[in-house]
């Protein structure tokens, strides 16, 4: 027995000596909360996968996180736009320097190939296919291999963004036999032509659909500055910088087309507590999405701050509450305004976000100063006001709560709030609202729903009120799907059913606006209308919370996902 004890003790000693693995300084170690299911550039399913794919592939346009603007990436300039009655033409020119890993230039033919992949049947492309539905055709130019034109149906402001949003794929690598070559883009949506070429497309799809699994690292190469070095599923994914990458030779644009760290390693750590401990052990360089309470504590920790810089940029994720205007008890806007007065946004931000959030009056982010309606005042927490509004809407208060009779039918004012199960922020917000509503005598029940049943109930308009967030960006303000009445049918984006004749006109006007001033004016009026209607109650824009190791500069911290540009990290001299 003595022996066993001695062995155990020495084992422990041994372990304590070799506990900290050493590491190279120019390797950036980033935490991933989920193991990406696959890294297919067409059919990825997580934002984490997108972050990695962005380091492997280029799209035509990309956001520059240091200015939060859209910049040309694989394209040399922003596209030329030409509009006719029913069609819009976007003409792009690819960068001449751009090349694939085998040294061949990226050409318009690759873009055409990519579009075919996005639209082909049998390919796992269901999640992006709808996004490029509006691109009818692509025109190539024989005299210039880098030039092409997208032919698009109709016009909406986000089209420019969407035409440059998908990753351009190398045709030589993914379709070496040229299976898709004989087909044109339009043939792919034609059932007769598809039936004719069925075996061809299926053969291509069969191979393409395996792309992006952890076994297919050879195939997973694009035009961007990194290649996939190793992927140990569930553990880590490492990327290695390409030698002699074309992006270093493009002059000014190489400020935002970067590949600085020699190696980027994404560590997969699902549990938050574990990730935080790893950060405090200096085993991670970048950690985002830090829980607020922990972030506050890290701020107090001086020794930690010597090694890490903490950032809290304003994000573009709007947390809001939606009220179902179709319910007869909530159809009167005064009732909804009364509910809006029961939101204690200040306390909500203080408690659920520990003040790391910015309240907003409308869906336009407050930092978009040109468009944000500064004179509009958000609803204040005011029980008296709420009670007065309820009374004016015809409600009568009794010991059981509020009720009124409508067409001879007695109707009680009760609310059920639904939100996605497992989200503590919504849960806390709902509980706080519940307590506030109780002060005004409105009984509120709170129901967490598993996300697919939540979506189902929202789509069927079977709810009173819900909490949710939408992610946005500072480039495009097309609110039509969210607020236009033509999207209010079951399954449409306009879940709250808000919308008047005026708001419909405003939404169409914003999308058609020629000048910034006109757009700003219309957007401000829209914010007023939405405020008045009080069906879509914007609460706040959250601040993101992340820590980055101090040995790096040029981190390009931003409110846009993924909140930093890991490819631009530079070691401090």
Partner 1 sequence: MASYLLKRILLAIPVLWGIATLIFLLSRLMPGIYGAELLGQSDSGYFGKADANSREKAYRQFLHRTGQDLPLFYFSLSPATEPDTLHLIFPESERLFLKRLSWQYGDWQLVSSFHNSLKYVEQATPVAQRNRLAPYLQTIYQNPTPKGIERAVTALSSLAPNQVAQKSQLQHHTAQLLEGQNPYAYLMPALRWHGTANQYHRWLVGLAQGEFGTSFRLKRPVSAVLFEAVGTTWWLLLISMVVATAIALELSLRMVRRGGHSWRKAVLPSLFLLDSIPLFVLAMLLLVLLASPAFLQLFPVYGMGYFQEAQLTKAQALGQWLQFMALPLLCLVLANLPYLTSQFYHALTDTANQDYIRTARAKGLSESTVIRKHMLRNALLPVITLLSDFLPALVAGAVIIETVFAIPGMGRLLIDSVLARDYPVIMGIVVLVAAFKLLSHLLADLLYATADPRIRHATT
Partner 2 sequence: MSRLFHTLRQAWQEFLAFRVALLYLLLLTLLVLVLPWLPLPFHPNELDLEHVFQRPFDWEAYQQGRPFHWLGTDTLGRDVLANTLFGARTAWAISFPVMVLTTLLGVGLGTSAGLYGDKKARMSRGRALMLLLAALVAFYYGIYLPLQLTSLRFDTTAYTYALTLALLLPGILVFGITPLLKRWDFFCEEIALPVDQAVLRLIEMLTSIPRLILILVLASFAPPSLLLLSLLLIFTFWTGIARLARAETLRIRELPYFEAATGIGATQAQLIYRHALPNMLAPILVSSVFGLASLMLLESTLSFLNIGVSTDLASWGRMISGIRSNTSAWWLVAFPGALLSLTVLGLQTLSHYFLKSSRGNTRL
In the numeric block, which tokens belong to residue 393?
Answer: 């809407």
Nearer to partner 2, 294 or 332 (CB): 294
Q: Residue 470 touches which of partner 1, partner 2, none (CB < 5 to 8 A by kind)?
A: partner 1
Nearer residue to partner 1 within complex by CB, 149 or 265: 265
Q: Which is nearer to partner 2, 35 or 97 (CB)?
A: 35
| Cis bond before residue 562 (omega within 30° of 0) | yes
Minimum Å distance from CB 370 to partner 2?
A: 35
Closest separation in Å from C-beta 24 to partner 1: 8
Q: Which does 351 bind (CB under 5 to 8 A by kind): partner 1, partner 2, none?
A: partner 2
For residue 421, the partner it binds in partner 1, partner 2, none, with Cβ less than 5 to 8 A by kind, is partner 2
Closest to partner 1 by CB, 238 or 521: 238
Listing DSSP states for 243-310 in one string gives TT-GGGGSGGGGGTS---SSEEEEEE---HHHHHHHHHTT--SEE-S--HHHHHHHHH-HHHHHHEEE
**Minimum distance from residue 344 beta carbon to partner 2 (Å):** 8
Residue 79 touches which member of partner 2, partner 1, none, C-beta under 5-8 Å by kind: none
Which residue number, 249 or 281, has a Cβ lying nearer to partner 1? 281
Of 440 and 495, nearer to partner 1 (C-beta) is 495
The tokens of 468 are what?
A: 């949710």
Q: Between 64 and 427, whose beta carbon lies closer to partner 2? A: 427
CB of 528 to partner 1, least distance (A): 17
What would the DSSP string read from start to end of 368-424?
-TTTS-SSSPPPP--HHHHHHHHHHTT-EEETTEEEEEETTEEEE--EEEEEETT-H
Rounded to the nearest whole angstrom, what is the least distance from the CB of residue 142 to partner 1 in the complex? 32
Angle, to 10 degrees, between the axis of helix 383-392 and the axis of helix 333-340? 170
Q: CA–CA distance from 155 to each of 84, 86, 89 (Å)?
A: 9, 8, 10
User: Of partner 2, partner 1, none, which one sits near residue 238, judging by CB under 5 to 8 A according to partner kind?
Assistant: partner 1
- CA-to-CA distance for 340 and 334, rounded, in angstroms? 10
d(CA 117, CA 115): 5
> Residue 555: CA atoms inside 13 Å, Cβ hemisphere, count?
25
CB nearer partner 1, residue 80 or residue 450: 450
Question: Least distance from C-beta 381 to partner 2, angstroms?
Answer: 11
294 binds, among partner 2, partner 1, none (CB under 5 to 8 A by kind): partner 2
Phi, psi at 352, each rounded to 5°: -85, -25
Three-state SS for 156?
coil
- Chain residues in the site for partner 2 (CB under 8 A): 272-273, 276, 291-294, 297, 347, 350-351, 421-422, 424, 427-428, 430-432, 435, 445-446, 448-450, 453
Q: Tell me the closest approach of the beta carbon of residue 145 to partner 1, in angstroms.
A: 30
Residue 570, C-beta contacts closer than 8 angstroms, at least 6 positions apart: 260, 552, 553, 554
- Which of the choices partner 1, partner 2, none does residue 326 contact, using the CB cut-off of 5 to 8 A by kind? partner 1
Least separation in angstroms between CB 20 and partner 1: 7
Tokens read off for 172: 């030589």
* Calpha distance 35→33 (Å, rounded): 7
**What are 63-66's contacts with CB under 8 Å, separation 24+?**
63/473, 63/475, 63/560, 64/256, 65/256, 65/556, 65/557, 65/558, 65/560, 65/564, 65/565, 66/255, 66/256, 66/556, 66/558, 66/565
Smallest separation (angstroms) from partner 1 to the CB of 19: 6
Residue 189: Cβ within 10 Å count: 13
Distances (CA, A) of 456 to 295, 307, 322, 482, 490: 35, 46, 15, 17, 10
Identity of the residue, 114 or 267, whose beta carbon is nearer to partner 1 in the bound complex = 267
Residue 452, contacted partner among partner 2, partner 1, none, CB below 5-8 A by kind: partner 1
Return the structure tokens found at 397.
């208060």
Q: Which does 162 bind (CB under 5 to 8 A by kind): partner 2, partner 1, none?
A: partner 1
Distance in Å, CB of 423 to partner 2, minimum: 10
Q: CB 161 → partner 1: shortest distance, Å? A: 8
Residue 127 binding: pick among partner 2, partner 1, none (C-beta 5-8 Å cut-off by kind): partner 1
Give min distance, CB of 284 to partner 2, in A: 16
User: Is 296 or 508 the residue whose CB approaches partner 2 more closely?
Assistant: 296
DSSP state of 494: -
* 253-291: b (≥16 Cβ within 10 Å) or e: bbebbbbbbebbbbbbbeeeeebbebbbeebbbbbbebe
Q: Please choose which of partner 1, partner 2, none residue 456 contacts, taking the beta carbon within 5 to 8 angstroms, the exact cut-off set by kind.
A: partner 1
- The C-alpha R_g of the chain, in whole angstroms, comes to 27
The residue among 255 and 450 lying less far from partner 2, judged by its C-beta, is: 450
Give whichever of 98 and 152 is closer to partner 1, judged by the CB atom: 152
Taking Cα atoms as reference points, which of 433, 448, 34 lies closest to residue 233?
A: 34
Indicate which of partner 2, partner 1, none lies near residue 37 (CB less than 5 to 8 Å, by partner kind).
Answer: partner 1
Structure tokens at 316: 């573009």
């Amino acid at each position: 027995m003595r022996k066993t004890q001695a062995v155990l003790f020495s084992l422990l000693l041994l372990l304590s000596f070799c506990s900290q693995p050493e590491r190279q300084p120019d390797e950036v170690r980033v935490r991933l909360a989920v193991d990406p299911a696959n890294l297919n550039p067409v059919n990825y399913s997580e934002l984490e996968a997108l972050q990695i794919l962005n380091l492997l592939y280029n799209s035509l346009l990309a956001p520059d996180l240091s200015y939060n603007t859209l910049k040309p990436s694989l394209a040399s300039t922003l596209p030329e736009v030409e509009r006719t009655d029913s069609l819009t033409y976007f003409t792009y020119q690819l960068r001449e320097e751009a090349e694939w890993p085998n040294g061949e230039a990226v050409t318009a033919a690759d873009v055409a190939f990519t579009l075919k992949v996005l639209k082909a049947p049998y390919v796992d492309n269901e999640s992006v296919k709808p996004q490029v539905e509006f691109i009818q055709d692509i025109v190539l130019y024989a005299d210039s291999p880098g030039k092409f034109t997208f032919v698009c149906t109709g016009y909406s402001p986000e089209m420019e963004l969407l035409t440059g949003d998908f990753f351009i794929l190398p045709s030589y690598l993914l379709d070496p036999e040229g299976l898709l070559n004989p087909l044109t883009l339009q043939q792919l949506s034609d059932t007769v032509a598809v039936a004719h070429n069925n075996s061809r497309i299926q053969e291509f799809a069969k191979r393409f659909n395996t792309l992006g699994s952890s076994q297919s690292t050879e195939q997973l190469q694009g035009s961007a500055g990194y290649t996939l070095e190793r992927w140990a599923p569930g553990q880590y994914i490492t990327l290695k910088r390409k030698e002699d990458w074309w992006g270093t030779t493009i002059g000014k644009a190489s400020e935002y087309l970067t590949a600085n760290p020699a190696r980027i390693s994404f560590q997969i750590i699902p549990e938050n507590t574990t990730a935080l401990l790893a950060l405090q052990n200096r085993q991670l360089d970048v950690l985002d999405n830090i829980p607020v309470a922990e972030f506050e504590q890290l701020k107090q920790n001086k020794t930690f701050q010597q090694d890490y810089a903490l950032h809290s940029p304003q994000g573009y994720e709007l947390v809001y509450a939606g009220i179902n205007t179709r319910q007869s008890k909530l159809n009167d806007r005064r009732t909804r305004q009364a509910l809006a007065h029961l939101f204690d946004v200040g306390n909500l931000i203080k408690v659920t976000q520990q003040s790391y959030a910015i309240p907003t009056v409308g869906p336009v982010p407050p930092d978009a100063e040109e468009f944000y309606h500064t004179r509009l005042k958000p609803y204040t927490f005011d029980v008296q006001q709420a009670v007065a509004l309820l009374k004016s809407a015809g409600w009568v208060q009794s010991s059981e709560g509020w009720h009124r009779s409508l067409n001879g039918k007695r109707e009680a004012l009760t609310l059920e709030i639904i939100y996605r199960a497992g989200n503590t922020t919504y849960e806390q917000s709902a509980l706080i609202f519940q307590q506030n509503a109780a002060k005004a005598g409105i009984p509120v029940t709170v129901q967490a729903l598993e996300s697919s049943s939540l979506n189902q109930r929202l789509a069927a308009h079977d709810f009173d009120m819900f909490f949710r967030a939408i992610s946005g960006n500072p480039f495009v303000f097309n609110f039509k799907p969210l607020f236009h009445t033509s999207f209010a049918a079951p399954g449409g984006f306009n879940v709250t059913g808000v919308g008047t004749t005026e708001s419909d006109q405003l939404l169409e006007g914003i999308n058609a606006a020629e000048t910034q001033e006109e757009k700003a004016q219309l957007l401000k009026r829209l914010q007023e209308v939405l405020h008045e209607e009080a069906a879509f109650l914007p609460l706040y824009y959250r601040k993101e919370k992340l820590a980055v190791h101090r040995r790096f500069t040029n981190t390009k911290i931003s409110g846009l996902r993924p909140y930093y540009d890991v490819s631009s990290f530079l070691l401090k001299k």
